[in-house]
Structure 1
Amino acid sequence: MSTTHPTTSETLTRFYAAETAYVAAGGPGAAAFDDIAACLDPQVVLHQAPGLPYAGDWRGPDGIERFMAVMSEAWQSIEFLDQSHIIDGPDVVVTSRVRFVARATGRALETRIVQLMTVRDGKITEIRPFYWDPPAVTAALQGP
């Protein structure tokens, strides 16, 4: 018996829509994490670079849920202005132009992010984002 998995493109589309909705709803308690979790492999790892307010490795769906709680606390909205996916088997490069609005300061930040991802059998197994300007992220969150 064969199992049909969503395509990589379908998985990415669902993941980014769920992430946007989760943050916009205010995160834990205000939104269900289920739509994000449905896109994740049980062994998923998110590697956030040093220098970001949410740096570190976030492991498993529980780790991603903790990360999303931190993101929801930091940002009141995430808007993907344009995005492209370069898919080569399980390896994916996602380029995004993103507009964030900080929850505490109300400051908006438009920036670019490149994410190296791995998607296997319709589930994300690894996410490695690279922000164009990490100091601008921190500045937007901390205010003037």
Structure 2
Amino acid sequence: MRKIYLLCFLFILSGLSAQKKDKLYPITIYEKAWQEKNNDARLKLIKSIWLEDSTFEDPSASIKGIAAFNNVIAEFYKKNPDAVLTSGAKVVKDNYVTWEWKVLDSKSNVIMTGRDFARLNGKGQVSKIIGFWDKEVTMSEADALKKLESENFNVVAQYFESVFKTKDFIKMSAVIEDGAIYNQAEGLPYGGTYTGFTEWTKMFTKSAEFFSLEVEKEPTYFSDASKNEVIIYFTVKCTAKKSGKSLSMPISEHFDLKNGKITAIRPFYFDTKQFAEFLKSKK
């Protein structure tokens, strides 16, 4: 008798497993359609699991029908010709299936990630797909670099304001990484390499013994966000404390950044020798 019960249990279990596999069949074809780059072959796959009233929605599209869905995938590959799609385990409940997915480039870098929810009609077809994107990952490389560039600009602008306008060293310290390096030209009376914010303040204090300044021309910002670099170009008008003379000097400063903080600064004076002599000259 126990043997009969065991066989019945295994039969039922096998039946449930088969039902789950049957439900996943249209999802398997759906994923194959997304992986198929040939338009005609892809359309054939879509027709086998998609109806004219089946709908697809994600942040990029909201469509109904077979041809429209095929066009969504075609447009995706126009923008991402080397994309490779992978997906995670499927969770099935009643006539719903959900799973996570990734899109990789040819070098296996993640282009975008997300989660899909599918509603099935019980006849081996998909009636609705809703796709959600991970916004942080799905941001295009250009948009991501633009966002990073903006963040880096804000950090450098805060530093510039604190040093040259408000003299607010507390606010400035918030954007300086521990152990950050400041390289001043050796020819200057306060020249040298300064490591860490405490040393930076000593350098600023020492430089203030030689001159006072005002910003004559506001900075222009340049950036290579892919390298976390910002360069600013501006002009200061300095008054030497020894001579009382004034001098306008264009300066550029090169900033290295990491995780929203400055890790290194190297200023370049238009004429370092002239500037050094100006600071040392007497009345």
Secondary structure class of the residue paired with 2:209: helix
Aligned with residue 195 of structure 2, among 43, 49, 59: 59
Gaps spanning 5+ residues in structure 1: where? 23-31
| Aligned residue number for residue 135 of structure 1 | 273
Aligned with residue 102 of structure 1, among 240, 245, 258: 240
Correspondence list, 1:59-138, <5 A: 59-89=195-225, 90-138=228-276
Aligned with residue 162 of structure 2, among 18, 30, 33: 18
Q: Which of the two has higher C-alpha Rg?
A: 2
Change (3 A) 1:84 1:52: same
CA RMSD of aligned residues (A): 2.1
Q: Deviations over 1:35-89 (max 9, x none)?
A: 2212211121001122112111010001111111112222222325131111112
Tell which has more relative contact order, 1 or 2 (C-alpha 8 A, sep 6+). Answer: 1
Distance 1:78 1:37 in 2: 21
Secondary structure class of the residue paired with 1:7: helix
Distance 1:134 1:48 in 2: 10
Distance 2:275 2:214 in 1: 13
Residue 130 of structure 1 deviates from its aligned partner by 1.3
Work out whether residues 107 and 141 of structure 1, in 8 Å CA contact, stay in contact via their aligned partners in 2: no
Residue 107 of structure 1 deviates from its aligned partner by 1.6
In the alignment, is residue 48 of structure 1 matched against residue 184 of structure 2? yes
> Identity of aligned pairs, percent?
22
Work out whether residues 54 and 67 of structure 1, in 8 Å CA contact, stay in contact via their aligned partners in 2: yes
Larger helix fraction of residues? 2
Work out whether residues 213 and 236 of structure 2, in 8 Å CA contact, stay in contact via their aligned partners in 1: no
Change (3 A) 1:10 1:111: same
Change (3 A) 1:133 1:86: same
Gaps spanning 5+ residues in structure 2: where? 1-147
* Runs of 4+ with >6 A deviation: none
State the TM-score, normalized to the length of structure 2: 0.43
Q: Which sits farther off after the overlay, 59-68 or 113-122?
A: 113-122
